[in-house]
Amino acid sequence: MNRAEAQRRADRIRAFRDELADLERDQVLALTAEQGGRLRTHQDALLQRLAGEFDIDLSDTQKQMSWGMRIASLLGAIALCAAVFFLFFRIWGLLGTPVQVGILVTAPLVALALTEFAARREETLYFATLAALAACACFILDLSALGAIFNMRPTQNAFLAWGAFALAVAYAYGLRLILAAGILCLAGYLSATVGTWSGFYWLSLGYRPENFLLGGALLLAAPELVRHRRCHDFPPIYRIFGLLSLFIPILVLSNWGGGSYLRLQDSHVEVIYQIAGFVLAAAAIAAGIRRQWREVTNTGSVFFVIHLYTKFFDWWWDWMPKYLFFAVLSLAAVLVLLILRRLRGVFRESAP
Amino acid sequence: MTRPGLMAAAVLALAANGVALVGVARNRAGEPRAELNLTEREAPLAWVGDENSGLSLRLEWAEPRRDWSEPGWFGREELEAAGFDCSLPLDAEGAELRYRKVLPIEAYAALEYDGEAWRTWLAAEEADLAKAEAEFRRGRLDARAIDWQRQRMKGIRVGHTRLFLIDVDREAARLRERHPDGSRTLVAHALVRLDYVQPWDEARKKQLPPFLRGSVESLLVDSLHVPRAQRATLGGREDQLRRSPVTERGPMYAVRVAYGSRLEPWIADLRSLAPTPH
């Protein structure tokens, strides 16, 4: 059992106790004093054990505090990364080349050791997340500063190394934030590599948004290909970034046909990607509902609405009075709500 | 460290550093492929932020003159040599769409130091000034305009880069074969672009036939890190050098730049120069 599973178990026990209290109040079910006592003793012991082993939250207040700690840890991690960068650039001119290289090579290893140290002392991993992100920042700084010191030609392979490093750390500790950082680096590497297949320089990747599509498809497929027995909360992160890598390029191309590999008139390319955007968003919503992937449904819905509103803007913004334009937008929102409510009703009827 | 992921991350970090450092060692092993004695004119100090104690030089290079209404020295043939597919005739259907969508590619550029390209360019600039002087004498140019042109030319003579782009190819070896003097010409990784140009004839108010025109967008490594050991040469005058442009005072230092087997440069030597007499 890991921390997330322990938290889910504790949440279930709390929900069970609330429901049992309601049932007793409504006189539907009443446990004998002995049964109630045994149940409470068992659950209390279980909760105490889970809290001791995994440092989980046992109340809503604790949960709110945890969210606060999570946000503080994220902000702290970002600030620490910035501090690492600025500190190095502040002092590197005062150091000889061997010392510069020594610092750069050892910094990520020291940060990794700190991550392990923090993880052994604290089950919630707030400090470990901070140290892990610092390790990633040190490694990014390491390769980029080596490139600057030795005047090396930039290459997309650095993104592969950074992505693999972040993924290794993420899987070692089950850190979603680090996984997201690793996925971003790998998506950058894949997109740049796809661009080079067409003979273009890798840093031109942004000029052809289609370069990101293959990476997006691979990210979507990753949790289906690799089972996550230990890191149960990783597949949604893959799916979210996979969908973003598909939807954002499609959204860009549906408004900027000139950025496509397709040798068609810009307006034709835009129509193709507008249709693709609507179809893919609808497919994502359907797949999300069917497979119970909430993140897929939400991402699909957001992009469906963005595509819809972008089209409205294209068609009507210039000639329609503003009050009418926004009224149409609100009507469209009401229409989407009605459709989703109907769908929700259908799923409620089919639910056991 | 008992977690396999943690060990993997540590090994990966060490391996990536190893690959990078072995690459540096291989680049610098043996005789450099090119070694040029440049000055501040070709390698001025690069800008750095207040909180950056590092120091680097920026390779400053120029292109031979050419008219915008023609491909000049970098036309279709050179673009093909650089690696672009220019087989589709310009009057074929869809040619414009196809060529306009081409993105920059990585190729190699040859840059000549203080050679024929610089002299030709300088002569053209001198001829422009002579023409302007003649216009001034005929009263067609005012005193302020001619003074500005004279000052500009003065700056060019003492401070303009003499490093000129002369050739491009997708094969570094082929480029070196064509320009074998490693003390005068460097071969470097460059970003090369293709432009589909359709010039407009203002006099006849009509579109002229299109052509393909190449250009070098940038050198992939145009920044040279100055190691601490060589900084002493500048004697802490970095801010002063940045404040007054080299075109106003002439170069204050000379720099020997070497290019290794991977065509990555480094500063082999940096020394002070006596002030240029004006």
Mapped to the 3 state alphabet, what secondary structure does chain A carry?
Answer: CCHHHHHHHHHHHHHHHHHHHHHHHCCCCCCCHHHHHHHHHHHHHHHHHHHHHHCCCCCHHHHHHHHHHHHHHHHHHHHHHHHHHHHHHHHHHHCCHHHHHHHHHHHHHHHHHHHHHHHHHCCCCHHHHHHHHHHHHHHHHHHHHHHHHCCCCCCCHHHHHHHHHHHHHHHHHCCHHHHHHHHHHHHHHHHHHHHHHCCCCHHHHHHCCCHHHHHHHHHHHHHHHCCCCCCCCCHHHHHHHHHHHHHHHHHHHCCCHHHCCCCCCHHHHHHHHHHHHHHHHHHHHHHHHHHCCHHHHHHHHHHHHHHHHHHHHHHHCCCCCHHHHHHHHHHHHHHHHHHHHHHHHHHHHHCC
Quick one: pLDDT band at residue B5, thresholds 50, 70, 90?
confident
**Mind telling me how many Å the CA of B217 is from chain A's nearest CA?**
12
Cβ <8 Å between B14 and A101: no
Is the residue at A19 inside a domain? Answer: yes
Q: Which of helix, strand or coil describes residue B95?
A: helix
Is the residue at A142 inside a domain? Answer: no
Cβ <8 Å between A93 and B103: no
Quick one: pLDDT band at residue A14, thresholds 50, 70, 90?
confident
Express each pLDDT in B77-129 by its tens digit. 999 999 999 999 998 988 999 999 999 999 999 999 999 999 999 999 999 99
Is the residue at A101 inside a domain? Answer: no
- Asked if residue B132 has pLDDT above 90, the reply is yes
Is the residue at A33 inside a domain? Answer: yes
Distances (CA, A) of A152 to A98, A162, B25, B41: 17, 17, 12, 23
Cβ <8 Å between B97 and A265: yes
Cβ <8 Å between A263 and B23: no
- Chain A environment of B229 (Cβ under 8 Å): 96-97
Q: For the purposes of burial, counting CB atoms within 10 Å of the CB of B95, is it exposed (0-12), middle (13-18) or buried (19 or more)?
A: middle
Tell me the whole-structure pTM to 2 decimals.
0.87
Cβ <8 Å between B228 and A97: yes
Q: Domain span at residue A17?
A: 1-58
Find the range with the poorest average confidence among A5-19, A46-60, B117-131.
Answer: A46-60
Cβ <8 Å between B53 and A93: yes
Q: In terms of CA atoms, which chain B residue is nearest residue A161?
A: B16
Quick one: pLDDT band at residue A348, thresholds 50, 70, 90?
low
CB distance B217 to B40 below 8 Å? no
- Chain A environment of B225 (Cβ under 8 Å): 148-151
- Asked if residue A350 has pLDDT above 70, the reply is no
CA distance A14 to A16: 5
Q: In terms of CA atoms, which chain B residue is nearest residue A91?
A: B53
Is the residue at A51 inside a domain? Answer: yes
CA distance A314 to B152: 50
Query: How do the domains of chain B map onto residue ranges?
Result: 29-272
Express each pLDDT in B216-265 by its tens digit. 999 999 999 999 989 888 878 888 888 888 998 899 999 999 999 999 99
Is the residue at A1 inside a domain? Answer: yes
- Chain A environment of B53 (Cβ under 8 Å): 89-94
Percentage of the residues of chain A whose pLDDT score is greater than 70: 98
A90/B contact by beta carbon, under 8 A: yes
Express each pLDDT in A185-199 by its tens digit. 999 999 999 999 988
Q: Can you give the pLDDT at residue A333?
A: 85
Tally the domains of chain A: 1
Q: Can you give the pLDDT at residue B105?
A: 94
- Greater confidence, A146 or A63? A146
Q: Can you give the pLDDT at residue A159?
A: 97
Cβ <8 Å between A172 and B23: no
- Asked if residue A352 has pLDDT above 70, the reply is no
Mutation choice for A interface testing from B21, B47, B53 by most A CBs within 10 A: B53
> Do β-strands B200-201 and B211-219 pair in parallel, antiparallel, or remain unpaired?
unpaired
- Chain B environment of A141 (Cβ under 8 Å): none
Express each pLDDT in B33-85 by its tens digit. 999 999 999 999 998 888 889 999 999 999 999 887 889 999 999 999 999 99
Q: In terms of CA atoms, which chain A residue is nearest residue B218?
A: A201
Cβ <8 Å between B266 and A150: yes
Express each pLDDT in B144-154 by its tens digit. 999 999 999 99
A151/B contact by beta carbon, under 8 A: yes
Is the residue at A346 inside a domain? Answer: no
Q: Can you give the pLDDT at residue A97?
A: 95
Express each pLDDT in A278-327 by its tens digit. 999 999 998 998 888 999 999 999 999 899 889 889 888 988 899 999 99
CA distance A330 to A332: 5
- Asked if residue A104 has pLDDT above 50, the reply is yes
- Chain B environment of A261 (Cβ under 8 Å): 101
**What residues contact A47, with CB distance under 8 A and at least 6 apart?**
A10, A13, A58
Q: Can you give the pLDDT at residue A347?
A: 67
Residue window 107-136, chain A: list those with CB within 8 Å of chain B: 108-109, 112-113, 115-116, 135
Of A142, A204, A264, the CB nearest to B103: A204
Q: Can you give the pLDDT at residue B10?
A: 96
Q: What letter would DSSP give residue B91?
A: T
Quick one: pLDDT band at residue B275, thresholds 50, 70, 90?
confident
Cβ <8 Å between A172 and B4: yes
Mutation choice for B interface testing from A153, A171, A185 by most B CBs within 10 A: A153
Express each pLDDT in A160-209 by its tens digit. 999 999 999 999 999 999 999 999 999 999 999 999 998 899 998 889 99
